[in-house]
Amino acid sequence: MENAKSVKLVLEDGTEIEGTSFGAFTSAAGEVVFSTAMTGYPENLTDPSFAGQILVLTYPMVGNYGVPGEELYESISKIFESDKIHIAGLVVNYYSEEHSHWNAAKSLGDWLKEYNIPGIFGVDTRMLTKILREKGAMLGKIVAEQDVELHDPNQDNLVAQVSPTEVKHYGTGQHKIVLVDCGTKTNIIRCFLQRDVELIRVPWDYDFTKLDYDGLFLSNGPGDPKMCTATIQHLQTALGQDKPIFGICLGSQLMGLAAGGDTFKLKYGHRSHNQPVLLTGTKRSYITSQNHGFAVDTNTLPAEWEMLFENLNDGTCEGIKHKTKPFFSTQFHPEAAGGPEDTEYLFDDFLKAVAEHKASK
Ligand SMILES: NC(=O)CC[C@H](N)C(=O)O
Protein backbone atom coordinates (compact mmCIF):
# COMPACT_ATOMS: atom_id res chain seq x y z
CA MET A 1 0.00 0.00 0.00
CA GLU A 2 1.37 3.41 -0.97
CA ASN A 3 1.97 5.96 1.80
CA ALA A 4 1.07 3.39 4.47
CA LYS A 5 1.39 4.93 7.91
CA SER A 6 1.76 2.77 10.96
CA VAL A 7 -0.42 3.20 14.04
CA LYS A 8 -0.81 1.11 17.15
CA LEU A 9 -3.61 -0.22 19.26
CA VAL A 10 -2.90 -0.03 22.99
CA LEU A 11 -5.04 -1.82 25.60
CA GLU A 12 -5.28 -0.90 29.27
CA ASP A 13 -3.55 -4.18 30.23
CA GLY A 14 -0.45 -3.00 28.33
CA THR A 15 -1.01 -5.04 25.15
CA GLU A 16 0.34 -3.10 22.14
CA ILE A 17 -0.38 -4.15 18.58
CA GLU A 18 1.19 -2.47 15.55
CA GLY A 19 -0.92 -2.00 12.48
CA THR A 20 -1.51 0.24 9.48
CA SER A 21 -3.72 3.32 9.43
CA PHE A 22 -6.82 3.65 7.28
CA GLY A 23 -9.60 6.19 7.66
CA ALA A 24 -8.46 9.29 9.56
CA PHE A 25 -4.81 9.39 10.66
CA THR A 26 -5.59 10.49 14.20
CA SER A 27 -5.62 9.08 17.74
CA ALA A 28 -8.71 8.07 19.72
CA ALA A 29 -9.53 6.39 23.02
CA GLY A 30 -12.56 4.34 24.06
CA GLU A 31 -13.84 1.00 25.28
CA VAL A 32 -12.55 -1.83 23.08
CA VAL A 33 -15.36 -4.24 22.17
CA PHE A 34 -15.64 -6.97 19.56
CA SER A 35 -18.35 -7.99 17.14
CA THR A 36 -18.40 -11.39 15.45
CA ALA A 37 -20.96 -10.32 12.82
CA MET A 38 -19.85 -11.21 9.30
CA THR A 39 -21.47 -8.24 7.55
CA GLY A 40 -23.16 -4.96 8.39
CA TYR A 41 -20.39 -2.42 9.01
CA PRO A 42 -22.45 0.49 7.55
CA GLU A 43 -25.21 -0.35 10.06
CA ASN A 44 -22.86 -1.00 13.01
CA LEU A 45 -20.78 2.14 12.54
CA THR A 46 -23.89 4.36 12.45
CA ASP A 47 -25.64 2.63 15.39
CA PRO A 48 -25.54 5.28 18.18
CA SER A 49 -25.22 2.47 20.76
CA PHE A 50 -21.55 2.15 19.68
CA ALA A 51 -20.73 5.72 20.78
CA GLY A 52 -17.42 5.82 22.67
CA GLN A 53 -16.40 2.32 21.58
CA ILE A 54 -13.43 1.11 19.54
CA LEU A 55 -14.94 -1.69 17.51
CA VAL A 56 -12.96 -4.84 16.67
CA LEU A 57 -14.40 -6.92 13.83
CA THR A 58 -13.50 -10.62 13.83
CA TYR A 59 -14.61 -11.13 10.22
CA PRO A 60 -11.24 -11.29 8.43
CA MET A 61 -11.89 -9.04 5.42
CA VAL A 62 -13.64 -5.70 5.84
CA GLY A 63 -14.42 -2.92 3.37
CA ASN A 64 -14.85 -5.10 0.30
CA TYR A 65 -18.43 -3.97 -0.34
CA GLY A 66 -17.71 -0.29 0.30
CA VAL A 67 -20.29 2.09 1.78
CA PRO A 68 -23.65 2.91 0.19
CA GLY A 69 -24.76 6.42 -0.73
CA GLU A 70 -27.35 8.17 1.42
CA GLU A 71 -31.05 7.97 0.52
CA LEU A 72 -33.89 9.42 2.55
CA TYR A 73 -37.27 7.89 3.42
CA GLU A 74 -39.83 10.06 5.31
CA SER A 75 -36.89 12.38 6.18
CA ILE A 76 -34.89 9.58 7.85
CA SER A 77 -32.05 7.58 6.35
CA LYS A 78 -33.12 4.62 4.24
CA ILE A 79 -29.70 3.01 4.53
CA PHE A 80 -27.90 4.00 7.72
CA GLU A 81 -28.88 3.66 11.38
CA SER A 82 -28.33 7.37 12.14
CA ASP A 83 -26.89 10.42 10.41
CA LYS A 84 -23.22 9.87 11.33
CA ILE A 85 -20.54 7.38 12.37
CA HIS A 86 -20.67 6.85 16.14
CA ILE A 87 -17.78 4.46 16.86
CA ALA A 88 -14.57 5.97 18.27
CA GLY A 89 -12.31 3.76 16.15
CA LEU A 90 -12.27 0.63 14.00
CA VAL A 91 -9.92 -2.38 14.20
CA VAL A 92 -9.81 -4.90 11.37
CA ASN A 93 -7.64 -7.69 10.12
CA TYR A 94 -7.53 -7.12 6.36
CA TYR A 95 -8.85 -3.84 4.99
CA SER A 96 -9.92 -4.23 1.40
CA GLU A 97 -8.96 -1.02 -0.41
CA GLU A 98 -10.76 -2.23 -3.50
CA HIS A 99 -14.52 -2.30 -3.07
CA SER A 100 -17.29 -3.45 -5.35
CA HIS A 101 -21.03 -3.51 -4.76
CA TRP A 102 -24.09 -2.38 -6.72
CA ASN A 103 -24.90 0.42 -4.27
CA ALA A 104 -21.41 1.37 -3.09
CA ALA A 105 -20.75 5.12 -3.27
CA LYS A 106 -17.41 5.32 -1.46
CA SER A 107 -14.79 3.28 0.35
CA LEU A 108 -14.93 2.48 4.06
CA GLY A 109 -11.61 4.33 4.55
CA ASP A 110 -12.93 7.51 2.89
CA TRP A 111 -16.13 7.34 4.93
CA LEU A 112 -14.14 7.09 8.20
CA LYS A 113 -12.03 10.06 7.06
CA GLU A 114 -15.18 12.17 6.54
CA TYR A 115 -16.00 11.78 10.24
CA ASN A 116 -12.37 11.93 11.43
CA ILE A 117 -12.52 8.37 12.82
CA PRO A 118 -9.30 6.32 12.87
CA GLY A 119 -9.08 2.76 11.59
CA ILE A 120 -6.25 0.29 12.04
CA PHE A 121 -5.73 -2.84 9.95
CA GLY A 122 -3.25 -5.67 9.93
CA VAL A 123 -4.36 -6.66 13.43
CA ASP A 124 -5.08 -10.32 14.18
CA THR A 125 -8.58 -9.47 15.40
CA ARG A 126 -9.38 -13.06 16.36
CA MET A 127 -6.34 -13.21 18.65
CA LEU A 128 -7.34 -9.81 20.06
CA THR A 129 -10.88 -11.06 20.63
CA LYS A 130 -9.51 -14.02 22.61
CA ILE A 131 -7.72 -11.53 24.88
CA LEU A 132 -10.94 -9.48 25.32
CA ARG A 133 -12.94 -12.64 25.97
CA GLU A 134 -10.50 -13.87 28.64
CA LYS A 135 -9.96 -10.53 30.37
CA GLY A 136 -13.23 -8.77 29.52
CA ALA A 137 -13.88 -5.60 27.53
CA MET A 138 -11.04 -3.15 28.17
CA LEU A 139 -10.29 0.49 27.65
CA GLY A 140 -7.91 1.15 24.80
CA LYS A 141 -6.70 3.61 22.22
CA ILE A 142 -5.58 3.85 18.63
CA VAL A 143 -2.43 5.95 18.64
CA ALA A 144 -1.27 7.82 15.52
CA GLU A 145 1.24 10.68 16.04
CA GLN A 146 -0.20 12.16 19.24
CA ASP A 147 -0.71 9.99 22.30
CA VAL A 148 -4.10 10.26 24.04
CA GLU A 149 -5.26 9.35 27.55
CA LEU A 150 -7.37 6.25 28.08
CA HIS A 151 -10.99 7.20 28.64
CA ASP A 152 -13.94 5.19 29.96
CA PRO A 153 -17.02 6.26 27.93
CA ASN A 154 -19.34 4.50 30.41
CA GLN A 155 -18.59 7.30 32.89
CA ASP A 156 -20.17 9.79 30.47
CA ASN A 157 -23.85 10.43 29.77
CA LEU A 158 -23.53 9.23 26.18
CA VAL A 159 -27.30 9.14 25.71
CA ALA A 160 -27.45 12.92 26.28
CA GLN A 161 -24.80 13.27 23.55
CA VAL A 162 -26.61 11.24 20.88
CA SER A 163 -30.27 11.95 21.67
CA PRO A 164 -32.01 14.67 19.62
CA THR A 165 -32.93 17.97 21.25
CA GLU A 166 -36.25 18.42 19.44
CA VAL A 167 -39.52 16.53 19.11
CA LYS A 168 -40.19 15.12 15.61
CA HIS A 169 -43.33 13.64 14.09
CA TYR A 170 -43.58 10.89 11.46
CA GLY A 171 -46.39 8.96 9.81
CA THR A 172 -50.17 9.29 9.88
CA GLY A 173 -51.29 5.88 11.18
CA GLN A 174 -54.02 5.34 13.74
CA HIS A 175 -51.83 4.31 16.69
CA LYS A 176 -50.00 7.18 18.35
CA ILE A 177 -46.65 5.89 19.60
CA VAL A 178 -44.13 7.93 21.59
CA LEU A 179 -40.57 6.87 20.79
CA VAL A 180 -38.15 7.93 23.52
CA ASP A 181 -34.96 8.43 21.51
CA CYS A 182 -31.95 7.51 23.63
CA GLY A 183 -29.95 6.95 20.42
CA THR A 184 -32.46 5.09 18.28
CA LYS A 185 -31.48 3.06 15.25
CA THR A 186 -33.44 4.31 12.23
CA ASN A 187 -34.63 0.81 11.43
CA ILE A 188 -36.81 1.00 14.55
CA ILE A 189 -38.48 4.07 13.01
CA ARG A 190 -38.77 2.26 9.66
CA CYS A 191 -40.34 -0.77 11.37
CA PHE A 192 -42.96 1.47 12.99
CA LEU A 193 -43.65 3.44 9.80
CA GLN A 194 -44.28 0.20 7.88
CA ARG A 195 -47.16 -0.32 10.31
CA ASP A 196 -50.27 1.70 11.20
CA VAL A 197 -48.45 4.26 13.34
CA GLU A 198 -48.08 7.96 13.97
CA LEU A 199 -44.71 8.35 15.67
CA ILE A 200 -43.73 11.12 18.09
CA ARG A 201 -39.96 10.96 18.54
CA VAL A 202 -38.86 12.71 21.75
CA PRO A 203 -35.49 13.43 23.43
CA TRP A 204 -34.27 11.04 26.18
CA ASP A 205 -35.16 13.45 29.02
CA TYR A 206 -38.47 14.74 27.58
CA ASP A 207 -41.46 14.45 29.91
CA PHE A 208 -43.58 12.27 27.63
CA THR A 209 -46.02 11.56 30.49
CA LYS A 210 -47.69 14.87 29.57
CA LEU A 211 -48.36 13.72 25.97
CA ASP A 212 -51.47 12.07 24.64
CA TYR A 213 -50.38 8.69 23.22
CA ASP A 214 -51.51 5.07 22.80
CA GLY A 215 -48.22 3.24 23.33
CA LEU A 216 -44.72 4.01 24.57
CA PHE A 217 -41.51 2.79 22.96
CA LEU A 218 -38.01 2.99 24.55
CA SER A 219 -35.08 2.88 22.14
CA ASN A 220 -31.60 1.41 22.19
CA GLY A 221 -28.73 3.69 23.14
CA PRO A 222 -25.10 3.90 24.26
CA GLY A 223 -23.37 3.53 27.62
CA ASP A 224 -24.48 2.60 31.11
CA PRO A 225 -28.30 2.61 31.43
CA LYS A 226 -28.01 4.02 34.97
CA MET A 227 -26.96 7.36 33.43
CA CYS A 228 -30.51 7.87 32.09
CA THR A 229 -32.05 9.02 35.37
CA ALA A 230 -34.55 11.40 33.71
CA THR A 231 -35.88 8.66 31.39
CA ILE A 232 -36.15 6.21 34.30
CA GLN A 233 -38.17 8.74 36.33
CA HIS A 234 -40.63 9.41 33.51
CA LEU A 235 -40.88 5.70 32.82
CA GLN A 236 -41.79 5.01 36.44
CA THR A 237 -44.83 7.27 35.98
CA ALA A 238 -45.78 5.39 32.77
CA LEU A 239 -45.41 2.03 34.58
CA GLY A 240 -47.97 3.28 37.09
CA GLN A 241 -50.51 3.43 34.24
CA ASP A 242 -51.50 0.63 31.89
CA LYS A 243 -50.74 1.85 28.35
CA PRO A 244 -48.55 -0.66 26.45
CA ILE A 245 -44.76 -0.18 26.69
CA PHE A 246 -42.09 -1.86 24.53
CA GLY A 247 -38.33 -1.40 24.96
CA ILE A 248 -35.35 -2.54 22.92
CA CYS A 249 -31.81 -3.04 24.30
CA LEU A 250 -31.08 0.10 26.41
CA GLY A 251 -34.88 0.42 26.50
CA SER A 252 -35.07 -3.03 28.10
CA GLN A 253 -32.46 -2.06 30.69
CA LEU A 254 -34.37 1.16 31.48
CA MET A 255 -37.57 -0.85 31.88
CA GLY A 256 -35.76 -3.16 34.36
CA LEU A 257 -34.36 -0.21 36.32
CA ALA A 258 -37.68 1.68 36.38
CA ALA A 259 -39.44 -1.49 37.57
CA GLY A 260 -37.08 -1.57 40.57
CA GLY A 261 -34.55 -4.11 39.27
CA ASP A 262 -30.81 -3.73 38.69
CA THR A 263 -28.47 -3.92 35.70
CA PHE A 264 -24.86 -5.08 35.55
CA LYS A 265 -22.00 -4.95 33.06
CA LEU A 266 -21.36 -8.14 31.14
CA LYS A 267 -17.76 -9.36 30.94
CA TYR A 268 -17.44 -8.66 27.22
CA GLY A 269 -20.99 -8.19 25.97
CA HIS A 270 -22.93 -9.67 23.07
CA ARG A 271 -22.25 -8.22 19.62
CA SER A 272 -23.16 -10.33 16.60
CA HIS A 273 -25.98 -11.44 14.36
CA ASN A 274 -26.33 -15.01 15.59
CA GLN A 275 -27.14 -14.85 19.31
CA PRO A 276 -29.61 -17.61 20.26
CA VAL A 277 -32.38 -16.69 22.70
CA LEU A 278 -35.09 -18.85 24.27
CA LEU A 279 -38.66 -17.62 24.72
CA THR A 280 -39.37 -18.31 28.40
CA GLY A 281 -41.82 -21.13 29.06
CA THR A 282 -41.38 -22.62 25.57
CA LYS A 283 -38.82 -24.61 23.62
CA ARG A 284 -38.84 -21.91 20.93
CA SER A 285 -35.53 -20.25 20.21
CA TYR A 286 -34.71 -17.39 17.86
CA ILE A 287 -31.46 -16.25 16.32
CA THR A 288 -31.04 -12.57 17.06
CA SER A 289 -28.96 -9.51 16.32
CA GLN A 290 -27.31 -8.06 19.44
CA ASN A 291 -25.11 -5.19 20.52
CA HIS A 292 -24.94 -4.66 24.26
CA GLY A 293 -22.50 -4.61 27.15
CA PHE A 294 -24.99 -4.42 30.05
CA ALA A 295 -27.90 -6.65 31.07
CA VAL A 296 -30.81 -6.74 33.50
CA ASP A 297 -30.13 -8.89 36.58
CA THR A 298 -33.29 -11.03 36.62
CA ASN A 299 -32.74 -11.95 40.28
CA THR A 300 -33.43 -8.34 41.21
CA LEU A 301 -36.76 -8.02 39.38
CA PRO A 302 -39.86 -7.45 41.54
CA ALA A 303 -42.34 -10.36 41.77
CA GLU A 304 -44.74 -8.93 39.18
CA TRP A 305 -42.02 -9.08 36.48
CA GLU A 306 -40.38 -12.06 34.75
CA MET A 307 -37.73 -12.91 32.17
CA LEU A 308 -39.21 -13.00 28.65
CA PHE A 309 -36.17 -14.26 26.72
CA GLU A 310 -32.93 -15.92 27.88
CA ASN A 311 -29.58 -15.93 26.07
CA LEU A 312 -28.75 -19.57 25.30
CA ASN A 313 -24.99 -18.93 25.31
CA ASP A 314 -24.64 -17.53 28.82
CA GLY A 315 -28.09 -17.65 30.43
CA THR A 316 -28.36 -13.86 30.79
CA CYS A 317 -31.58 -11.89 30.48
CA GLU A 318 -32.63 -11.05 26.89
CA GLY A 319 -35.90 -9.33 27.75
CA ILE A 320 -38.45 -8.91 30.50
CA LYS A 321 -42.21 -8.67 30.80
CA HIS A 322 -44.78 -7.62 33.34
CA LYS A 323 -46.96 -10.55 34.41
CA THR A 324 -50.28 -8.71 34.07
CA LYS A 325 -49.74 -5.38 32.27
CA PRO A 326 -48.77 -4.94 28.56
CA PHE A 327 -45.13 -4.02 29.30
CA PHE A 328 -42.34 -6.01 27.63
CA SER A 329 -38.83 -5.58 26.29
CA THR A 330 -36.02 -7.32 24.44
CA GLN A 331 -32.30 -6.98 25.06
CA PHE A 332 -31.71 -8.09 21.45
CA HIS A 333 -32.68 -6.17 18.30
CA PRO A 334 -35.96 -7.30 16.66
CA GLU A 335 -35.42 -4.51 14.10
CA ALA A 336 -32.16 -6.24 13.03
CA ALA A 337 -30.17 -3.95 10.62
CA GLY A 338 -27.96 -5.88 10.26
CA GLY A 339 -28.89 -9.42 11.16
CA PRO A 340 -31.86 -11.79 11.08
CA GLU A 341 -35.41 -10.43 10.96
CA ASP A 342 -37.01 -13.43 12.72
CA THR A 343 -38.22 -11.42 15.72
CA GLU A 344 -39.64 -8.39 13.86
CA TYR A 345 -43.08 -9.81 14.72
CA LEU A 346 -42.59 -8.25 18.18
CA PHE A 347 -43.49 -4.85 16.66
CA ASP A 348 -46.82 -6.44 15.61
CA ASP A 349 -47.28 -7.92 19.10
CA PHE A 350 -46.74 -4.47 20.60
CA LEU A 351 -49.20 -2.79 18.22
CA LYS A 352 -51.73 -5.56 18.86
CA ALA A 353 -51.42 -4.80 22.59
CA VAL A 354 -51.90 -1.11 21.76
CA ALA A 355 -55.04 -1.83 19.70
CA GLU A 356 -56.44 -4.12 22.42
CA HIS A 357 -55.77 -1.55 25.11
CA LYS A 358 -57.54 1.15 23.08
CA ALA A 359 -60.50 -1.14 22.40
CA SER A 360 -60.82 -1.87 26.13
CA LYS A 361 -61.20 1.82 26.97
N1 LIG B 1 -27.72 -1.39 21.81
C2 LIG B 1 -28.01 -0.87 23.01
O3 LIG B 1 -29.06 -0.27 23.24
C4 LIG B 1 -26.96 -1.01 24.06
C5 LIG B 1 -27.44 -0.73 25.45
C6 LIG B 1 -26.31 -0.42 26.44
N7 LIG B 1 -25.60 0.76 26.06
C8 LIG B 1 -25.38 -1.61 26.52
O9 LIG B 1 -24.29 -1.57 26.05
O10 LIG B 1 -25.75 -2.63 27.07
pLDDT at 221 over 90: yes
Expressed as residue numbers, the domain containing 196 is 158-359
pLDDT at 132 over 90: yes
| Residue 166 CB neighbour total at 10 angstroms | 8
Least-confidence region, from 2-11, 312-321, 324-333? 2-11
- 118 and 189 within one domain: no
| Residue 294 CB neighbour total at 10 angstroms | 22
Residue 1 lies in a domain: no
Single out the catalytic residue among 249, 270, 310, 318. 249
pLDDT per residue over 254-286, tens digit each? 999 999 999 999 999 999 999 999 999 999 999
pLDDT at 96 over 70: yes
Q: Which residues are annotated as a binding site for L-glutamine?
A: 49, 221, 223, 250, 253, 291, 293-294
Residue 112 lies in a domain: yes
- ipTM for this model: 0.98
Burial 254-288 (b: 16+ CB within 10 A, else e): bbbbbbebebeebebbbbbbebebbebeeeeebbb
Q: What CATH number is associated with residue 21? A: 3.50.30.20
Query: pLDDT grade, residue 1 (50/70/90)?
Result: low
Q: What is the pLDDT of residue 75?
A: 87
- 224 and 174 within one domain: yes
Q: Which residues are annotated as a binding site?
A: 49, 221, 223, 250, 253, 291, 293-294
Q: What CATH number is associated with residue 273? A: 3.40.50.880
Q: What is the pLDDT of residue 361?
A: 87
Last residue of a domain, one of 124, 155, 186: 155
Kindly state the average pLDDT of the residues 225-229: 98
Q: What is the pLDDT of residue 2?
A: 58
Beta strands 89-91 and 118-121: pairing type?
Answer: parallel
Ligand 1 atom closest to the Cα of residue 158 is 7
pLDDT per residue over 59-84, tens digit each? 999 999 999 999 998 889 999 999 99
Q: What is the pLDDT of residue 73?
A: 85
